[in-house]
Copies of this chain bind each other. A is one copy, B any other.
């Protein structure tokens, strides 16, 4: 396993089992050198397939994808920079970040001056390795700590990138949990990032665990999980499913779920889709300070799902948004940056979101709408009068008052500022005694 901050102690974790299991999965995925194509993606998907029987798709290089096409497949075996003594001062085996993704093969001896334009560092974080790519512009390069660059003083260096860039395939995976309805919930997580934890081993691990948990259910909606490379992967999936994406009623792009920050939901381009109300309601039930951002053109694959030709109801759930933590797209986004409890909480949030997706748009009807029905005779109200309402009694009255066929459960929850547990219990009792249908 590649370690990108070898001097640090291993994270001290003793989480509850689910968080521990998620963390262990991240730990397995972390060292793999992923990119938008190649064996690293395939190995990643094979690991996820241990959780759920996902289906792997291969799309040939050159396949047209809207304004793009599937690129050549990139694979890499080894890469290094050796100093004049023959010592590997930069070694791909230590971190997959050391090589600019999609670097073409190179084997040369170069002066530092000639080499310098191929070296990427972060002067403001001299011990960290940056993450860089050059997918659409044939080039090569190394990423290294700035402190190391400053020590390089030899007259010449041997550089080697033992990669291949040739016709092959783009690989992605799907997993569908059929529901009562063909209407779908899309859950997307990108597979293209190499050895970084939060972005996006956490998204891969949490979505796989969510898929495993939902596979035990027969939900109302069908749930479609897609694991694909960023941008070209979501575009490829969209181009192969143009006829059926209209089934998507709700969707989420999921990434960055392990860092210590609070949750952030980014609204879909529509801004008023059901998912844009469901996720904020769930988040605020846990954390009144949860952050809700408007849609913007910056970001992950919601950019494609929310392009004007599709305009799907797809939002994005993360903890701290990309680019707002210094570890973003560097080697410091490692196993120490995330924690099992944070992964477990993300999974719990998603399970809550699924619960609300299942029931949130339902419009119940009060069968006794003229005046309040007499709840006391049904055992739903305290017998002694003169004191205030309990929260549970309030939930009963709100459901009855607003269940006129024009208010959904999420409408009522927002209006009455009720949490999901209390409301779900009130609905259950009112349905049981026939006051709601």
Chain A residues in contact with chain B, CB under 8 A?
65-68, 100-101, 130-137, 139, 231, 234-235, 238-239, 242, 269, 296-298, 303-304, 306-311, 323, 329, 366, 368-374, 376-377, 383-389, 394, 397-398, 400-404, 416
Contacts and interface: CB of A to CB of B under 8 A. Distances in A.
Contact of A401 (B231, B306, B397): B306
A370 B139 CA distance: 28
Contacts of A139: 383-384
Contacts of A310: 370-371
B371 A136 contact: no
A384 B67 contact: no
A383 B100 CA distance: 12
23 contacts: A67-B371, A67-B373, A100-B384, A132-B387, A136-B376, A136-B383, A137-B376, A139-B384, A239-B370, A297-B397, A303-B401, A304-B371, A304-B372, A307-B369, A307-B400, A308-B366, A308-B369, A308-B400, A308-B401, A308-B403, A309-B366, A309-B370, A311-B404
- Give the one of A101, A130, A234, A368 with max B CB within 10 A: A368
Nearest to A370: B309
Contacts of A377: 136
Nearest to A236: B371
A298 B394 contact: yes
Given A133-B384, A136-B374, A388-B323, A369 B401 contact: no
A371 B403 CA distance: 40
B131 A68 contact: no
Nearest to A193: B386
Given A66-B370, A137-B384, A311-B404, 10 more contacts: A67-B372, A68-B371, A101-B385, A131-B386, A132-B384, A134-B385, A136-B374, A231-B372, A308-B366, A309-B366
